[in-house]
Amino acid sequence: MRRARFATCLVALLCAACAAQAVAPRTAEILKIYDEPAGYYPGIERSISVSPDLSAWLQKNQLRIEIIQNRIAAIRAGKSAPACIGEDQYTCVASLAQQFAITDSYSGNNSVVDETAYDVNGKPMNVGKFEFVGYVPKSQPDSGVQVPTKFAMSVGRDGLVSSLAAHLPRDPTFAHTQDEYDATDAYETIAAVSAQQCPTLNRAEVAKWIENTIKPNAKAYNERIRRGAAEAEISKKTAFCGRNFRFNSVWASQTYNQYRRDVTGGMAILVE
């Protein structure tokens, strides 16, 4: 069972790392979501300009987009409580958008605002799994391209979010100082999903929890893979601020020849 979980984490994290490397370079024409304040910016994850297809998609999904925007405003105004697990996808995205500039792809058919699509047998194809990314607003943006947190949301048959996976831009396994933890963007995910139970949660509390509770209780795994090896640090499910968290760190090293050695991987936070 543990080896199966290790293998699943390995595939997911390596795919996430490959996708992250495909982010377009910063140019004057790019829709720079990573320069925007926290909020929801629909459809522009992979867009460099407002194309006719994007405009048509925004118009088609305007009603559902407005639902998210209205919930973001209500949470900010204190009229609604932030929450994710056990709520619908719109409330979860609105809660994450208190900490992140959230965006998704209009062409992937897995946006939280996409209409339900059906196959030839009438079976819904794009319900239950949604993907999007979140950029933490920086007071002093980096000179290079900022790497986002990549989210994967699971929704049950009851229409409520059952789990959320957040693939972090940097792995907290290697963090020890407060600045190093802040650079992982782990705090923003944890604060967003636990804001209802712990509204005053601060960065130092999250860093000390990971350092003193999560890391000592994680188990290490090693496995040979094609042309290399993989290592994992997988934590047990741990309750914190009313939610259950698991931290999975997986790294793989593959050697192809004397000139090429690839090291890929990262950490995912799983929230239930």
Model confidence pLDDT, tens digit, residues 131-189:
999 999 986 655 567 899 999 999 988 889 999 999 999 999 999 999 999 999 999 99
Q: pLDDT-derived band of residue 109, with 50, 70 and 90 as boundaries?
A: confident
String of DSSP letters for 123-134: -BSSSSEEEEEE
The pLDDT > 70 percentage for the chain reads 76
- Which of the pair, 51 or 13, is modelled with greater confidence? 51
Higher pLDDT among residues 30 and 144, named by residue: 144
Closest CA to 92 of 157, 161, 151, 158: 161
Lowest mean pLDDT among 45-54, 111-120, 220-229: 220-229
Q: Is the pLDDT of residue 58 over 70?
A: yes
- Which position has the higher pLDDT, 99 or 219? 99
What's the whole-number average pLDDT of the chain? Answer: 83
Which pLDDT band holds residue 126 (cuts at 50, 70, 90)?
low
Mean pLDDT is lowest, of 51-65, 175-189, 241-255, for 241-255
- Average pLDDT, stretch 228-257? 84
Task: Report the candidate in 76, 74, 69 with the shortest Cα–Cα distance to residue 98.
Answer: 76
Q: Are 33 and 105 in contact (CB under 8 A)?
A: no
Q: Assess whether pLDDT exceeds 90 at residue 9.
A: no
Distance between CA atoms of residues 179 and 124, nearest Å: 44
Q: What pLDDT, on a 0 to 100 scale, did the predictor assign at position 7?
A: 42
Does the predicted TM-score (pTM) go above 0.75?
A: yes
Average pLDDT of the segment spanning 62-67 = 96
Least confident among 7-11, 97-101, 127-131, 157-161: 7-11
Which stretches within 103-245 are classed as H helix? 178-182, 186-193, 203-209
Least confident range from 94-98, 155-159, 175-179, 257-261: namely 257-261
Q: Which has the higher per-residue pLDDT, 122 or 38?
A: 38
Out of 85-89, 127-131, 148-152, 208-212, pick the least confident.
127-131
The residues, ordered by sequence, that sit 6+ positions from 130 with a Cβ below 8 Å of its Cβ are: 89, 104, 110, 111, 112, 152, 153, 155
- 147 contacts 169 by C-beta, under 8 angstroms: yes
**Polymer length of the chain:** 272
Q: How high is the pLDDT of residue 143?
A: 57
